[in-house]
Amino acid sequence: MVDWTPVTDALNLTQSECAQRASVVHAPVYAISIDLTHAADPTATTFTSHTTLIFDATGESTWLDLVADSIESATLNGQPIDTSGYDGARLPLEPLLPHNTVDITARCAFRNTGDGLHRFTDPQDNNTYLYTHFEPTDARRMFACFEQPDLKAQFEVSVTAPSDWQVRSNQPAVASPAQGDVTVTRFGRTPLMSTYLVALAAGPYATTSDLHVIERADGSRQEIALGLLCRQTMREYLDEQDIFTVTKQGLDFFDEHFGFPYPWGKYDQVFVPEYNIGAMENPGLVSWNENFLYRGGATKAQRGQRAEVILHEMSHMWFGDLATMQWWDGLWLKESFADLMGYQVAQAATDYPDGWVQLALGRKQWAYTEDQMPTTHPIVATIPDLEAARQNFDGISYAKGAATLKQLSTYVGTDQFFAGARAYFAEHAYGSTTLDDLLTAMEGASGEDLRDWARAWWQTSGPSHLTPVVTRDGDGAITALRIEQHGVDHVTGQGILRPHRFTVSLFALSDGSLQLLTDLPVTLTERSVALPEAVGLCADLIVLNAADETYAVTALDERSLATAGVALAQVTPDLTRAVAWSTLWGMVRDGGLSAATFADVFATQTISEPNPSILTVLAFLGAEAVGTYTPQADRPGQAARLLQVCLDQAARTAPGSDEHLIWVRGVAGLAALTDACSDEVAALATLEDLPTDLRWRLTNSLAATGSWSVADLDAQLAGDDTMTGRTAYAQAIASRPGRAVKEQVWKALTDGSPMSNDHRRALLAGYRQPFSAADTRADLPAYLDGLEKWWKTLGQTDAERMIAGLFPLVDVADGDLATHPVLTAVRAWLLEHQDAPSALYRTVQKALATAERSINAQSAY
């Protein structure tokens, strides 16, 4: 037996060494046995993992990935393995034969960080639950493996667990023999798939099931067993009818349009707490953040957002699980497609037809924000190692990729786009793929040469910028209109022009009424293009990319901006109005428009906004405009003004209605920025039928302004003493203003005390809600001293959270972009630490760029 101390550097994996291993290892097959007999015992810190791995080899040596507390036994082809070379992450394997069998028994650790095999205990009923999350390379925390996506394998999983537990994996159970109080559940062998997709859920989960039958035009049919799981104390919030309905609608759509039958047998979905992400596409066992189980009710817009995620994860059953990227530089091959499909299929196949609206006004803001940072990268990124791979789960790989794929669909035609997808799956089912594989399929289906298009869109960085250049005569008629584009590849510094196809919508304002004049299709391949069809039109509002067909940062000319201020709510259709709002927001985010102007438009135009999905996003953006892009001295006044708008609208809507809940959500965001109207906010927080999670948002805001005391927060916890309630309470306690509070939060986060990922997130969120930037600025020296320590002692995910969450808040009163003490100190750290791990360096750069954007926008106020 060998015990080990983790070696941080050993956890990293490089593309070059994994490519070399792939040239040696072939046809792996795994049998994995996990013993969870004592998992409910809080004193049990590890579990037994046994792996038998059979593979062929064309070399003399390689290594096995395993992160374990100890290796109990290890053999290669029946001979003991010398474990002295084990460094806590890699176990050397040699000598190899043409056909090999490895047998490993290890003690692996239960995790509370949302990766590996995560264990948690529900304080309401003391039930213990477990689930796995392995993406990108945490399967090695549960079993010995070749941890890289291109070494696909078949897996047979066996789990020993208490007999009263539910145990699920990727495939249906084939046998569950009882052995006293424990049961051994054996699952069927999987089709070929990557190690990061192996999944396990175990515990006394509440379950419900259904069956979906796909009937095809050729007379064939397919039965797919559906299951939903959640912890028992969340069962009342499991909206099984809605979730099953969307699941069935998605399975029908993908069956028809992808032309490849659902390949994974069953379709379970498990909702779990303390999850690091929204959801994960484990084939046959999709895992979900249980925040998607809305406690106390949800608006249709919220359910629509959940539908988009259901369809996002489902599309991965093909894009990512069936046809998998060869290495993590192809992350976009699955995430960009899944992001697009989530919105497109929600729009086309469900009762939630705001998919395109959500993409335009909501999701793409993530992409635009990250694509203008110094840390941006091409969609097809260079990923030298695992640390870089973890950082590319970002707005570029997801939302920008989705937007460019939508542009590709516009470019080649929707039918041709799906024909290309069908060819891609037919050719690469159960295999590994690259950019060239996708382009070959799309070119074959469309008849288009897409290589130049792909280079311009997928292999350069930074957004395109589209600007209207318009002249008018004395009567307001357009005498010339052209669209100019410019762009800079932030990686190379070179200018970049991309091909665009989009629509420009022109509106006229007369006697307070806004009317559409015309929609003009535009093909832009050079620096600019003239629109002679617009000449002579008296257009008061010009909206570029009106149908959101391309990916570009756009702008409003001066006259259009004035018109938006009085008539934006009248723009139709909804998608064009969402694009117009997105344009307005982008101008604020980039420092080209005062947040005060955005607040003016918010105050006058949201009250007439008819689309709940748009209004939901605007409720968030209103608080962001004030809380991030408004100078602190002006923040309380602006927040009070917009807060009053939200309170007035909430009072005018029926309690419990979607509109009422959206406006109350707007109240919650703004009430954290001013103590004005605290009595009215408190009255909302105590409404009897208010959804529990929304009540906590209001509570948190009242705590952030000091309007509610600890005793008030204690009373809220007494009414919701659940796992979720305790986490919300921790955030509210941390949100209280004052230097003393922030010192306590800082100490809790940095003194090395163990805490779950959920609790850490709650404290970080509370830390960033002071009433004064000075509350966090005082921690700047300790922040800079802690950066390298956090990176070395915490997992990468938690370290990145700490670096972003503890970055001091900044205010323009303390200095501009060149002189602000926080910005200059962090820049100095970067200059002095150019030899820091690249992922750490990039994380700090990103946090700095976020603060710089805030100061830049505040300077434009």
Catalytic positions, please?
A: 313
Degrees (nearest 5) of the Cα angle 581, 584, 588? 135
d(CA 732, CA 708): 10
- CB-facing half-sphere around the CA of 140: CA atoms within 13 A: 20
Which secondary-structure segment (H or E) carries 584?
Answer: helix 574-589
CB 93 within 8 A of CB 61: yes
DSSP string, 595-612: HHHHHHHHHHHGGG---H
CB 808 within 8 A of CB 777: yes
- CB-facing half-sphere around the CA of 842: CA atoms within 13 A: 16
Helix (H/G/I), strand (E/B), else coil: 492: coil
Distances (CA, A) of 354 to 250, 304, 441, 470, 564: 16, 8, 30, 32, 22
CA nearest neighbour of 363 among 344, 389, 391: 344
d(CA 159, CA 47): 11
d(CA 766, CA 639): 19
The four Cα atoms 305, 353, 567, 536 give a dihedral, to 10 degrees, of 130
Which secondary-structure segment (H or E) carries 329?
Answer: none
Distances (CA, A) of 654 to 61, 651, 663: 70, 8, 11
d(CA 244, CA 210): 8
CB 386 within 8 A of CB 642: no
Q: Which residue type is seen at 403? A: A
Cis upstream peptide for 172 (omega within 30°): no
d(CA 380, CA 435): 8
Structure token pair of residue 724: 């979720």
CA nearest neighbour of 368 among 208, 618, 589: 589
d(CA 362, CA 398): 13
Q: How far apart are the first and last CA of the chain?
A: 64
Distances (CA, A) of 854 to 336, 366, 595, 858: 28, 15, 11, 6
CB 443 within 8 A of CB 205: no
- CB-facing half-sphere around the CA of 755: CA atoms within 13 A: 19
Within 8 A by CB and 6+ apart from 683, the residues are none
Burial class (CB in 10 A: 0-12, 13-18, 19+), 802: buried
DSSP string, 391-432: HTSSTIIIIIHHHHHHHHHHHH-HHHHHHHHHHHHHHHTTSE
Structure token pair of residue 822: 């926080």
d(CA 253, CA 259): 10
d(CA 361, CA 357): 6
Distances (CA, A) of 666 to 612, 621, 649, 699: 12, 9, 10, 14
